[in-house]
Amino acid sequence: MYVIVQKHEYQRYSKTLDQFFRLRKLVFCDKLGWNVPVINSYERDTYDELDPAYLLWCDDSCTKLYGGMRLMPTTGPTLLYDVFRQTFPEAVDLVEPGIWEGTRMCVDEDALARDLPEVEPGRAFSLLLLALCECAMAHGIHTMISNYEPHMRRLYKRAGVFVDELGRADLYGKYPVCCGAFEVSEMVLSNMRSALNVDRPLYQTAFSQISANQFEAA
């Protein structure tokens, strides 16, 4: 299942969040070699102290994690503006309640191979993107923003996602970093479900127990 976790649910999902921070360390520090804050076996940064929402993919008991990502409103501090401001034009204003930033998207390839061997990593990312689209629609978000490396466009295309590249910069590492806007709409959702051959909702709204207003105020 795919669930959204906010501050008032951190304790309820504490074991799953623990796995998410461990997975982030494994993926972004150990595997990709990013210069990210690591505390013991966890990857956490200052944005995790700002009570973000987390979209988590876990088993039905919410004890095993398969993937996740962090969601933050652009009306507050974001990596987009604080770190990656050079990746989109100065004239572009992305601060709006209906625009959210998605970061730290990752999947646990070992857990997938163990429990869901029919789901290869590329499809796992695509399914997480589909769940994100459903989640965003459920909570009044019309645009998701993300920074990514150019090769990720192939994954987005495979998932049926149209990415409006707002800009890119060469200041951050081995590869350019792009800034993309992802439309959230019924049309996009339909395209994604068709591309991925998924005919049922993935995001479990019943488990979030929050209203759109509460989500926007997080």
Render pLDDT for 83-129 as a digit per residue (tens, 0 to 9): 999 999 999 999 999 999 999 999 999 999 999 999 999 999 999 99
Burial 87-101 (b: 16+ CB within 10 A, else e): bbeeeeebeeeebbb
Output the pLDDT for position 171: 79
Average pLDDT over residues 41-66: 94
**pLDDT for 163-213, tens place per residue?**
999 999 997 777 899 999 999 999 999 999 999 999 999 997 644 433 333
Instruction: Provide the whole-model pTM.
Output: 0.90
Output the pLDDT for position 175: 83
Percent of the chain with pLDDT over 90: 82
Class of domain 2-216 as given by CATH: alpha beta
Q: How many helices (H) and strands (E) does the chain have?
A: 7, 9
Tell me the average pLDDT of the chain: 90
Give the separation between CA 103 and CA 117, rounded to whole angstroms. 26
Highest mean pLDDT among 22-36, 125-139, 170-184: 125-139
Output the pLDDT for position 218: 38
pLDDT interval class at 37 (50, 70, 90) = confident
Q: Which residue has the tokens 């990013």?
A: 34
Q: What is the CA radius of gyration of the chain?
A: 16
Query: Do strands 65-73 and 38-39 pair parallel, antiparallel, or not at all (unpaired)?
Result: unpaired
Q: Which residue has the tokens 């973000």?
A: 52
Output the pLDDT for position 205: 64
In this predicted structure, which of 64-78, 136-150, 168-182 has the lowest mean pLDDT? 168-182
Identity (one letter) of the amino acid at 69? M
Residue 113: count of CB within 10 angstroms of its CB: 12
